[in-house]
């Protein structure tokens, strides 16, 4: 039985089944009053399981990391509203809050910063991996492959048995994920991979590795650094989303931190999840290049036969607005004004939002801009190409994946995730050889010539 983080079970739900069985199921109440029916003993008591395609109504765990109220558009990391964290923290401070549960003291902040710096470079022979990928390799495929490859360079990190070791491996992952991302970009454009610098902080170092050249250092503007810090903060964690649930699934089998995070990268890549930010900018480019009006595009989205979605819109949890989208929309304006960029795609995005939010198709389905709707415009303004967008998302979300891995790893009552299913395949069948099967499924059956002479039966 998973150790209940919430242990004052005082209420229960009564279930009466068609065959007359009854079950009393405990009600679990979360910090903010969310209620759940604990069905962990349902099958043992009744033989029944529950079924919930897509887990829309199913809690997979109890977690103390992030709280979302989808109706009210609330997002908090360890109790702090995302708006406050966005305003007062650097990404690394937010990451330390998400992973360890408290905002870091100045000493904790500088210590973690030191081990991030110490672990920012890639092993020299590790760099040859990049040359093994073809130039068009998607950076997400490189990222997941090379996070797994990192395990071979940090064998002690595969068995984390102390807080110090966990901190070292976490810093190694967070730091190297950023270096791998920049290196995969450099490889894809045929430029030399740039070493990290010891005098730069996390985000500046990333932009340096992305845009410096051996003969010319790139110095990011304060606005660009601030915008990317904000982007990473807003992507740091988001409770049991698809990729974080994947990390927990893999972690529940006691896979190591590298393997669990690598699995999270693969799950994030999907266009319905972290891949949406790239899909949004491709959608805006399509509208821009086609000369289509936003109203025409929205009409295509509403025509279900088109199969077209308004990328960056909708969310399984947020049903009124995604607070991150609001923060990013304002950051977009600030950044583009500061960099004096007039990106026509931002105007298209604003128009799409305006048209959609006045259209009952979206309002009735409670579809609003999500975190991905404006994020691509910010990353484009920073000079980051669309195929790198989801990689940047992964850099931010590595903090949340590490925190969720830790929550499982630290809980002695954690059990392997092994969902049940309802089987809908064929009932038991008698074994037949190929010819008997063909005979059973076709009217005219003729024993093949090659068999007539020997009369043998082919098994």
Pick the piece of the chain touching ligand SDX (CB under 6 A) from 193-201, 225-233, 335-343, 367-375: 367-375
Min CB(146)–ligand SDX separation in Å: 22
Q: Could you say which residues in the range 276-305 bind ligand SDX, by CB under 6 A?
A: 276, 301
Continuous H helices in 189-241: 202-211, 222-234
DSSP 403: H
Sign of the alpha-carbon dihedral angle for 99, 71, 39, 245 = negative
Window 219 to 238, contacts with ligand SDX (CB under 6 A): 238
* Residue with the shortest CB distance to ligand SDX: 314
Query: What residue has token string 């590490």?
Result: 402
If the CB atoms of residues 25 and 371 are measured against ligand SDX, the closer one turns out to be 371
- Between 152 and 306, name the residue whose CB sits nearer to ligand SDX: 306
Q: 223 or 351, CB closer to ligand SDX? A: 351
What's the distance, Cα to Cα, between the start and end of the chain in Å?
Answer: 48
Q: Which is nearer to ligand SDX, 301 or 348 (CB)?
A: 301
| Strand residue runs (E) in 20-154 | 22-29, 35-37, 66-69, 74-77, 80-81
Between CA 379 and CA 281 the distance in angstroms is 10
Q: How many CB atoms lie within 10 A of CB 29?
A: 14
Helices of type H across 235-271: 242-252, 257-268
Dihedral sign of CA atoms 107, 110, 116, 120 in order: negative
The answer to whether residue 365 forms part of the interface with ligand SDX (CB under 6 A) is: yes
**Range in contact with ligand SDX (rule: CB under 6 A) among 15-23, 204-212, 248-256, 273-281:** 273-281
Q: Which stretch binds ligand SDX (CB under 6 A): 105-113, 127-135, 182-190, 313-321?
A: 313-321
DSSP string, 140-195: HHHHHHHHHHHGGG-GGGGS--SHHHHHHHHHHHHHHHHHHHHHHHHHHTTPPPPP
Cα–Cα dist 88/74, whole Å: 18
Sheet holding 22-29, edge to edge: 11-16, 22-29, 35-37
Which one of residues 99, 122, 367, 394 is an interface residue with ligand SDX (CB under 6 A)?
Answer: 367
Nearer of residues 310 and 384 to ligand SDX, judged by Cβ: 310
Q: How many residues bind ligand SDX (CB under 6 A)?
A: 22
Query: Of the candidates 167, 353, 372, 407, which one interacts with ligand SDX according to CB under 6 A?
Result: 372
326 contributes a contact to ligand SDX by CB under 6 A: no
User: Quick one: which of 120, 172, 246, 370 contacts ligand SDX (CB under 6 A)?
Assistant: 370
157 binds ligand SDX, rule: CB under 6 A:
no
Q: Does 313 bind ligand SDX (CB under 6 A)?
A: yes
If the CB atoms of residues 243 and 252 are measured against ligand SDX, the closer one turns out to be 243
Q: Which of 372, 409, 410, 449 is catalytic?
A: 372
Residue with tokens 């920012």: 120
Distance of alpha carbon 51 from alpha carbon 343, whole angstroms: 46
Locate tokens 């950044």: which residue? 335
* CA–centroid distance for 11 within its chain: 34
Note if 53 is an active site residue. no
Active site residue 315: yes
Contacts of 105 (CB under 8 A, 6+ apart): none
Looking at 27, 132, 219, 272, which residue binds ligand SDX (CB under 6 A)?
272
Residue of 127, 201, 226, 273 that binds ligand SDX (CB under 6 A): 273
Give, as ranges, the residues between 24 and 83 that touch ligand SDX (CB under 6 A).
Answer: 54
Q: Closest CB to ligand SDX among 116 and 283?
A: 283
Q: Which residue of the set 138, 315, 322, 343 is catalytic? A: 315
113, 117, 241, 390: residue in contact with ligand SDX (rule CB under 6 A): 241
Could you list the active site residues? 315, 372
Applying CB under 6 A, the residues found at the interface with ligand SDX are 54, 238, 241, 272-274, 276, 301, 309-317, 365, 367, 370-372
């Amino acid at each position: 039985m998973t150790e209940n983080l919430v242990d004052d079970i005082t209420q229960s739900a009564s279930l009466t089944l068609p065959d007359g069985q009854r079950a009393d199921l405990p009600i679990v109440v979360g910090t903010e009053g969310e209620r759940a029916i604990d069905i962990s003993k349902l099958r043992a008591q009744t033989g029944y399981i529950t079924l919930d395609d897509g887990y829309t109504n199913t809690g997979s765990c109890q977690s103390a990391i992030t709280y979302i109220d989808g109706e009210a558009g609330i997002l908090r990391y360890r109790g702090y509203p995302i708006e406050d964290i966005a305003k007062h923290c650097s990404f690394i401070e937010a990451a330390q809050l998400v992973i360890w549960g408290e905002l870091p003291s100045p000493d904790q902040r500088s210590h973690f910063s030191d081990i991030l710096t110490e672990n920012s470079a890639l092993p020299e022979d590790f760099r040859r991996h990049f040359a093994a990928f073809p130039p068009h390799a998607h950076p997400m495929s490189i990222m997941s492959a090379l996070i797994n490859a990192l395990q071979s360079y940090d064998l002690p990190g595969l068995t984390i048995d102390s807080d110090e070791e966990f901190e070292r491996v976490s810093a190694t992952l967070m730091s190297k994920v950023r270096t791998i991302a920049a290196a995969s970009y450099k490889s894809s454009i045929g430029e030399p991979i740039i070493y990290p610098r010891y005098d730069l902080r996390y985000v500046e170092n990333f932009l340096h590795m992305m845009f410096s050249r051996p003969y010319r250092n790139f110095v990011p503007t304060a606005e660009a650094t601030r915008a990317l810090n904000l982007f990473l903060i807003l992507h740091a964690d988001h409770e049991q989303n698809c990729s974080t649930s994947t990390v927990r699934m893999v972690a529940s089998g006691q896979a190591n931190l590298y393997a669990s995070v690598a699995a999270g990268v693969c799950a994030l890549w999907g266009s319905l999840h972290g891949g949406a930010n790239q899909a949004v900018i491709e959608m805006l480019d399509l509208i821009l290049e086609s000369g289509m009006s936003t109203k025409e595009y929205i009409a295509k989205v509403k025509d279900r036969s088109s199969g077209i979605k308004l990328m960056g819109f909708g969310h399984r949890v947020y049903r009124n607005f995604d607070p991150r989208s609001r923060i990013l929309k304002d950051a977009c304006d600030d950044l583009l004004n500061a960099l004096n960029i007039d990106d026509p795609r931002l105007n298209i995005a604003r128009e799409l939002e305006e048209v959609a939010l006045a259209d009952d198709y979206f309002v009735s389905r409670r579809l609003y801009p999500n975190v991905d709707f404006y994020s691509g415009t910010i990353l484009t303004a920073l000079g980051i190409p669309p195929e790198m967008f989801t990689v940047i998302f992964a850099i931010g979300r590595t903090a949340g994946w590490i925190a969720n891995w830790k929550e499982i790893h630290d809980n002695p009552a954690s059990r392997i995730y092994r969902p049940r299913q309802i089987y809908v395949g064929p009932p038991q069948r008698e074994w037949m050889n190929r010819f008997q099967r063909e005979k059973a499924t076709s009217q005219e059956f003729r024993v093949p010539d090659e068999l007539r002479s020997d009369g043998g039966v082919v098994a």
